[in-house]
Structures are given as C-alpha cells and as structure tokens.
Amino acid sequence: MDVGVSEEESGMSSGSLQDFKEGCQNAIPICLGYIAVSFAFGIESAKVGMTPFQAAMTSLLNVTSAGQFSALEIIARNGSFIELAVLQFIINLRYMLMSCALSQKLDSSVSTGHRLGISYGVTDEIFGVSVLKKGKLYPMFSYGLIFTSVFGWVLGTVLGAVAGQLLPQRLISCLGLAIYGMFIAIIIPETRSSKAVALVVICAMVMSCVFTYAPFLKLISSGFRIIIVTIAVAAVAAILAPIKEERNE
Amino acid sequence: MSKVYLYILLMAVVTYLIRALPLTLIRKEIKSKFIRSFLYYVPYATLAAMTFPAILKATDYVASSIAGFAVALILAFNKKSLLTVAGCACGAAFLVELLL
C-alpha cells in the first residue's frame, strides 16, 4: 500500500492507510456473513458440476449473491448466453441505483481509476455500509471494505464447494438466513429515528409480498420485482417526504 | 467444459458495467431534491423487498425462518451489530429446527 498521499492533504485525497484499516474493520461482519452465504453457493455450484476453481472464479469476478445463484440454474441446463446476460442485467440492475447513490457520496475530485475500483465492490452490504457511513467516503475506506468482504465471499465459496457435503443439512439450512439477517441489520436501526424510512421498509415488504403471491404479478421474475418495488416505493417516498438538505456549504 | 468460463466472464462483464457506468459518469453533485431523496430511500426499499417474503423460504422450514426473522428484527431494532443480528438469526432458526 502506498501511503504517499501527502501532496493531497487538502482533504481531496483518496484516503490513508488508516482509512483502509477502518474499512477492513467495518467489513468483518460482512465477511463472516458472506462466508455463510457463499458457503451455500459453493455447495450449489458443486451440485451443477462446477469445479471449486470455477466456483471461486465466479465469486471473485461477480460478487453478487442473487446473480450467482440464478446463473447456476442456467449453467446447469446449458442455457443461452443471451438469457444469462439479460438475467444478470435485470437481477443486478439495482446496483445501478446503488452506484448512482454512491456517486453522490464521493468527492467530485475522486479519479476515474478509483471510481472503477470502487465499482467492483458495489454489493448490497458494502453499499449499505458505504452510503450510511458518516462523513466523506474515501476510496481507501472502500478498498478496505471490498478486500475483506470479497476475501470472505471467495473463501466461503471454496469451503462450500470442497467440503459442503460434509455438514449436516440442518446447519446448511440455517446458514441461509445469514444474508437476510445482514439486510435487516442494515435497514432496521434507521426506522427508529425516521418514520419515513420505517414506512418505506414496511411498504416495500408488503408490495414485494403482493408481487410474489398475487395472480399474474407473481409471473414477474424476482429481479424485476425488486426493481419495480424499489423504484415505486422510493419515488413515492421522495415525493411525500423529501429529505432535508443538511449539506449546504 | 470451457463454456463454463464463457458463462462466468459474460456475467462478470454485465455485472461490472452496471456498477461502473453510474459511478464513473456521474461526477457532479445531483441538485434535484427529488433525485437526492429518491436515492436516499433506495437502499431501504431494495433490501426490504429482497428480505421479505424471500426470508420465509431461506431455511428448510417456514417456522424456523420466522423465528430467525423475528430475532433479527428485535436485535436490529436494538441496534446490535451486523454480525450479532445475522448470527443470532441463524442460531434461533437452528434451535427451532432441533425442536421440530
């Protein structure tokens, strides 16, 4: 790691080694949660005939839970490339919204290179920690988050692919909750201080339920469902309860 | 078998472009109050929609999923850490499955 950022001490820097460490620390829970979730992915990948190396490569290059799980089904039945590309686009389109939100958190002086680096690690959890972080977001902090999280994601994948079958089914079953536990831990605390956020969470859950079980609506794929619910609920909330501007300088 | 690598690379490229385009293209601070508010609510809406009702099918039994969900909600509401919430949710589900 290069610590020589002294030329840019004016607050426009990409951050210091300290920020990197802080990012790593913040990502420890994500890392452990990822090990649990990607462990399940490793098990599934072995079932469709992927080697541990291929599974690890998938995790390292994609870092997307829902996308990877859904891809396994297409790979298993030798589906078309177009189908895979469209499915990934739809399921992961929410990252585009997250990247838009994240772009507002970065100083406008952050270089394209750093932006390309941060882009690699836009996941639900890394985004959640990044965007809710107090103060400015430094690239080094993001790299710490990404490094630690992806380490857990790949490690869990390999463990699952190699040794998954050794665990009792009951344990594997319960590990499936880990990722949702993480989501809940990210969104629920804010509902205490903001009624608008509480309503957003409840409405999104109710609407997602309707789309899952109602006739016709349930034909919409899970990726599209999440996109529709997100855009509808966030747009209505933005109209009814616009955020107060605090960052006027 | 090499087709698997093509699958992997294709999904990696698609996923990376989705992430990289907004971050590299949007340089300025967005002034629109609507868009700023919209983006503020996005993570809450997305993660909530992804969690429910999918969490009910996260384990082999709905009962253990509900137990894990309830424990996660209570702990998160009391501002416990990510790891505590996720770990206890799994633990609660495991206990329920032992009783089933």
Final residue before a domain boundary, out of A186, A203, A223: A186
pLDDT of residue B30: 81
Per-residue pLDDT tens digits for B20-53: 999 999 888 788 899 889 888 988 998 899 899 9
Per-residue pLDDT tens digits for A177-198: 887 888 899 899 999 999 999 9
Is A207 in the B-facing interface, judged by CB distances under 8 Å?
Answer: yes
Percent of chain A with pLDDT over 90: 45
Report residue A8's pLDDT band, with 50, 70 and 90 as the boundaries: very low
Total domains in the fold of chain A = 2
Dump the DSSP string for B18-77. Answer: HHHHHHHH--SPP--HHHHHHHHHHHHHHHHHHHTTGGGGSSSSHHHHHHHHHHHHHHHH
Q: Do A200 and A129 have their domain in common?
A: no
Structural contact between residues B60 and A173, judged by C-beta atoms closer than 8 angstroms: yes
Q: How many CB atoms lie within 10 A of CB A25?
A: 12
Report residue A44's pLDDT band, with 50, 70 and 90 as the boundaries: confident
Q: Do A99 and A124 have their domain in common?
A: yes
pLDDT of residue B82: 80
- CA-wise closest residue to B59 among B25, B21, B27, B90: B90
In a domain, A1, yes or no: no
- How many CB pairs below 8 A link A and B? 309
What average pLDDT does the structure give for chain A? 86
Closest residue in B to A55 (Cα–Cα): B8
Q: Do A138 and A207 have their domain in common?
A: no
In a domain, A2, yes or no: no
Contact B82 A29 (CB under 8 A): yes
| Cβ contacts of B36 on chain A, cutoff 8 Å | 104, 243, 245
pLDDT of residue A246: 55
Closest residue in B to A110 (Cα–Cα): B27
- Residue A172 Cα, gap to closest chain B Cα (Å): 8
User: Closest to B20 (Cβ–Cβ): which among A119, A127, A238?
Assistant: A119
Q: Do A155 and A207 have their domain in common?
A: no
Structural contact between residues A104 and B35, judged by C-beta atoms closer than 8 angstroms: no
A211: its two tokens: 């789309």
- Residue B100 Cα, gap to closest chain A Cα (Å): 11
Is B31 in the A-facing interface, judged by CB distances under 8 Å?
Answer: no
Contact B22 A99 (CB under 8 A): yes
Is A197 in the B-facing interface, judged by CB distances under 8 Å?
Answer: yes
